[in-house]
Structure 1
Amino acid sequence: MTDTQISTHDAAADARNDDILIYVDGDLVPRAEAKVSVYDSGFMLGDGIWEGLRLYDGYLSFLDEHLDRLFEAALYIDLDIGKTRAELVQAIHQTLDANAMTTDVHLRVMVTRGRKKKPFQHPQLSVFGSTIVIIAEHSKPDENAIHRGIRLHTVPHHRGLPLTQDSKLNSHSKLNCIIALNHALRAGADEALMLDPFGFVNTTNACNLFIVRKGVVWTSTGDYCMNGITRQKVIDLCCENDIPVFERNYSLVDTYGADEVFLTGTFGAQTPVFEVDGRVIGGGKPGPVFYQIRALYKALIAESRISTS
């Protein structure tokens, strides 16, 4: 990445993260000592699932939705997490408490099929139970990303059909997205714009995508992208606040001519896009619909925190 390239996951360095304790299968260990076996299914095969969470002022935003997605993914890949929802939540809070974390925290909860007795893919070789790792870091999104904007480059690597690997699955197997991102970085962009199998605009390598045309918000049909929780919250907020929104097929022609383009994800919430394939979007600055949605989303976080406190 060059000095001018940015990411939707940019955050200011925080020295407190040097000494964090990481949850590894029930133990809280210093960052430098947090390890899993080379025989672990996640390391060896990418055989695992994960969720990213945000902690705002003591509130884990949309925790139930994240747990729903995690346990649904486990059901799909026949993975026994080895903990109930309540036990997993307890482990998350145990990790936060051990690190004295109260706000502006990003968590990654990872579950793999566990350690294998032989280095092959057969799931029955995972005989030691699942591996659970929880990483919680002091991490606040860089607000400068709003003023600098993201540059996207359309890549030949697409989000595929569910017949291969369903894009709705939040799995450890992210190689397709990493290859796409590398392609975009080599082109001088910040993230990769990925199309669906039929050539319609879909998502980026890391985030869901929205465009705005004449005050109307468009996003993909959702058939070939991650079923993003922030994505759904944005759609819901639009519906509740009389902002026209459509899940539909649309092309690069529609995207290049958009008034606004922005990304959504758990970490950055909403991030504006200023350039797509060298075409400047919205004069290279965030648009009014972006700011309206961002304000509504912040209010939703605050309301949710109060209602659960």
Structure 2
Amino acid sequence: MTDHVTTHQAEEDARNEKILIWLNGRCVPKAEAVVSVYDSGFMLGDGVWEGLRLYDGHWAFMDDHLDRLFEAAKAIDLDIGMDRDAVRNALLETQNANGMTTDAHARLMVTRGTKVRPFQHPSLSRSGPTVTIIMEHSKPSIPRPIRLATVPHIRGLPMSQDPKLNSHSKLNCILACIAAEKAGADEGLMLDVNGFVNTTKACNFFIVRKGAVWTSTGDYCMNGITRQKVIDLCYANDIPVFERNYSLVDTYGADEAFLTGTFGAQTPVGEVDGRVIGSGQMGPVTERLRGLYKDLVAREAA
């Protein structure tokens, strides 16, 4: 499909060729930001990460992101080797080194570090963690509502790989992305283990029916920070909101659908499995939530 769109599509920015990347305590040019082939993240996907967004000199909801990062690291028994203030300072140092003030995106990644031998046991990672921050000039450029296709890949049970973890192990989501593209869609809609609508491969998913906002129970999806902000905004502004099980039948008949994520905030969905959702354009509830979220970000920055 010639007009393929992604949920992380950004305007081209030549400044990104000269960015400095924070790597284990130093800001280095892009070409020098390299890790060992023995790194746990490269070898096994053993690590956790966060995506943060810079609005008007302020990293939106930084405390929430740091909470999630440290909770994920604890869950996989990974010592980041830095406290919260040190991680916060690393973000600010990278921002200042790149002269960024707004419309920037940071991907903060922590792996278990370099292994002494190429096998999976975590005791072989003895160097201490690898910590890096890739920070790019990034202005979303998503020209139309997203088209989704339901894919066979699911977000699994907590005892296999807990979908709440923002882990480096993303192969199931990558396969979902490939399946969606081969179906002619922009992004894959993933079901949960019971066949209920859950999330997409990169974002949390919402529908709107008769003025009420529905999203999944949260049991099988990433514990999205933007997702939670939207739920909180609904409660605060008398918009009915339900975290519940719902099916593809409910989805196809929805009046609106949208995605949430740190990068795109609220991205309208125009089509699911070839069915046009509502008018196929951004609906009034989605538009209202976009405005409320923008105001929330501005209030937090102030």
Fold shared by both chains (TM-score > 0.5): yes
Aligned-residue offset at 1:33: 1.7
Q: Which residue of 1 aligns with 2:224?
A: 228
Q: Which residue of 1 aligns with 2:123?
A: 124
Aligned: 1:214 with 2:213: no
Can you list the C-alpha shifts for 1:101-124, whole angstroms capped at 9, x where unaligned? 111000000000000000001111
Can you list the C-alpha shifts for 1:31-52, whole angstroms capped at 9, x where unaligned? 1221000000000000000000
Runs of 4+ with >2 A deviation: none
Letter in 2 for 1:34: A
Structure 1 gap ranges (5+): none
Whole-Å Cα distance in 1 between the matches of residues 152 and 102 of structure 2? Answer: 39
Q: Which residue of 1 aligns with 2:269?
A: 273
Q: Which residue of 2 aligns with 1:138?
A: 137
Can you list the C-alpha shifts for 1:63-117, whole angstroms capped at 9, x where unaligned? 0000000000000000000000001111111111110111100000000000000
Letter in 2 for 1:193: L
Aligned: 1:249 with 2:248: no
Can you list the C-alpha shifts for 1:112-154, whole angstroms capped at 9, x where unaligned? 0000000001111011100001000000111x43xx1000000
> How many residues end up aligned between the 2 structures?
302
Letter in 1 for 2:89: Q
Whole-Å Cα distance in 1 between the matches of residues 268 and 56 of structure 2? Answer: 25
Whole-Å Cα distance in 2 between the matches of residues 76 and 209 of structure 1? Answer: 25
Whole-Å Cα distance in 2 between the matches of residues 104 and 155 of structure 1? Answer: 32
Structure 2 gap ranges (5+): none
Whole-Å Cα distance in 2 between the matches of residues 158 and 149 of structure 1? Answer: 23
Q: Which residue of 2 aligns with 1:77?
A: 76
Q: Which residue of 1 aligns with 2:199?
A: 203
Can you list the C-alpha shifts for 1:3-24, whole angstroms capped at 9, x where unaligned? 3110110110000000000011
Q: Which residue of 1 aligns with 2:187?
A: 191
Whole-Å Cα distance in 1 between the matches of residues 282 and 57 of structure 2? Answer: 30
Q: Give the share of equivalent positions with the same residue, in percent.
A: 70
What's the TM-score once normalised by structure 2's chain length? 0.99
Q: Which residue of 1 aligns with 2:153?
A: 157
- SS of 1:35's equivalent in the other structure is coil
Alignment of 1:1-309 (within 5 A): 2-142=1-141, 144-145=142-143, 148-306=144-302
Q: Which moved more, 1:28-37 or 1:241-250?
A: 28-37
What's the TM-score once normalised by structure 1's chain length? 0.97
Aligned-residue offset at 1:259: 0.2
Whole-Å Cα distance in 1 between the matches of residues 65 and 26 of structure 2? Answer: 23
- SS of 1:133's equivalent in the other structure is strand
